[in-house]
A and B are shown apart, each in its own frame.
Chain A
Amino acid sequence: MSIAGSRFLSLSAQSPAAPPAGANTSLPRLPDGHPDLQGLWLKSAGGFQGLFIGSLDGTNFAAPGGGGRGGRAGGGPPPPPRYEYTPEAEAERQDRLKRGYEDPEARCHLPGVPRALDQPAGLYPVQIIQDDKYVALLHEAMHDVRIIPTDNSPHPKNYWAWDGDSRGRWDGDTFVVDVSNFNGRTWLDMAGNFVDENEHVVERFRLLDRDTILYEATVTDPTVFVKPVEMRFTLKRVPPEQQILEYSCLEGERSLQHYTNEDGGKKQRAR
């Protein structure tokens, strides 16, 4: 199975366009001249393997005495983003930090942006499918799908969503996505960092070489942050024998009944 190599959305017949002046000519490109971002990608330099040290096929069991972890293994962790909150938002963040069980993603809601890509490193890949009208991001985590038009169309006036509304454009060889229209309910991580409905994100995808995308996101939210939050990490190409797997989050969700606050008390809020 190779979705990555297919023309998922019909690519209109056209003559190959020349890449921009001064562009990296070694990058794979589509007939429209833009870099070909298609493929299966995974946050972190380590690939899936960075996550675990034990496997069942006899090649790589747990190290002696080691329980193992390492979601950020393989190339080291990306620099943590700096969150500079307004005083009111800082108090809210500290409160949420104690109430990790209220994280919407822990309840199988969509992660929002940029968390759709900022998942634990080495775990959930994203598949990119692209033509001259759309770039589609198929995130394994939470079965999250973003089909991003690149036709200069505006955000709608009457639509708000977990992932907001994404509109893409090409800035030279960089794919730039403007994301707005958020529902304001998402957390940025499991540590209580959050945004509200005024969130606005600019994402930048730049193919550094055939197997590496530099992903950068700038998150602004004037009612939450006093300065924009910057994120930056690389996505590495996953071997072609791998594929997106099913993630039916509610299938076996049994953690809700055990969620507790910091001191072990049961304090679940309905969301």
Chain B
Amino acid sequence: MSDAPDHRTELRPVRPSVGVFLAAVVALASNDAGVSAHHSFAAEFDFQKPVTLKGAVVQWEMINPHGWITIDVRAEDGKTARWMVETSNPNGLMRLGWTKRSLKPGDEITVEGYKAKDGSNTANAATVTLADGRKVFAGSSGTPAGTPGTANDK
């Protein structure tokens, strides 16, 4: 390893303005699930099947075209089931401040999202609640409005 000073700088995330924040909230009122970052939401996921996954992070892969969180979900009987959770495009997440170090193996998180249509342990993330309680958006632009499992969902 070199002892040379590190002159690299950080790519900065985008800091939303208040106006833009309000615009995003307004956008929540719509429910157009047809558009996603890379593929149609409906081609893979079912917005009528919301799911909440609580468990420990196994792996966080901030890769294209979508990031993936591997999580061991604990059931009440103590058994665990491994799920794969798709997030938005990593470039969009990076501009929000996400990095490949944002989730570490063992982190206890809660994912609210939507199940895949094919019945596998696969979901699309809408929000991720971190171990410290911070709730962050992780979904694709096609993620349906509202928190999964609430009255907002049809």
Binding site for B on A (CB under 8 A): 46-63, 65-75, 100-101, 103, 105-106, 108, 120, 122-124, 140, 190-191, 239, 241-243, 245-249, 251-255, 258-260, 262, 264, 266
Contact = CB atoms under 8 A, between A and B. Distances in A.
A108 B144 contact: no
Nearest to A74: B23
Nearest to B62: A252
A49 B137 contact: no
A264 B139 contact: no
A65 B150 contact: yes
A106 B141 contact: no
A106 B39 contact: yes
Chain B, interface size category, equals: 35 or more
Given A54-B136, A55-B96, A252-B63, A67 B127 contact: yes
B94 interface: yes
Contacts of A140: 91
B121 to A, nearest CB: 11
B44 A120 contact: no
A123 to B, nearest CB: 6
B24 A190 contact: no
A70 B26 CA distance: 8
Which are the 6 A-B pairs with shortest beta-carbon distances? A71-B141, A70-B27, A54-B137, A252-B63, A106-B39, A67-B126
Contacts of A241: 11-12
Contacts of A106: 38-40, 43
Nearest to A245: B91
A73 B15 contact: no
Select the residue from A54, A67, A266 with max chain B CB neighbours within 10 A.
Answer: A67
A86 B138 CA distance: 40
Nearest to A254: B68
B65 interface: yes
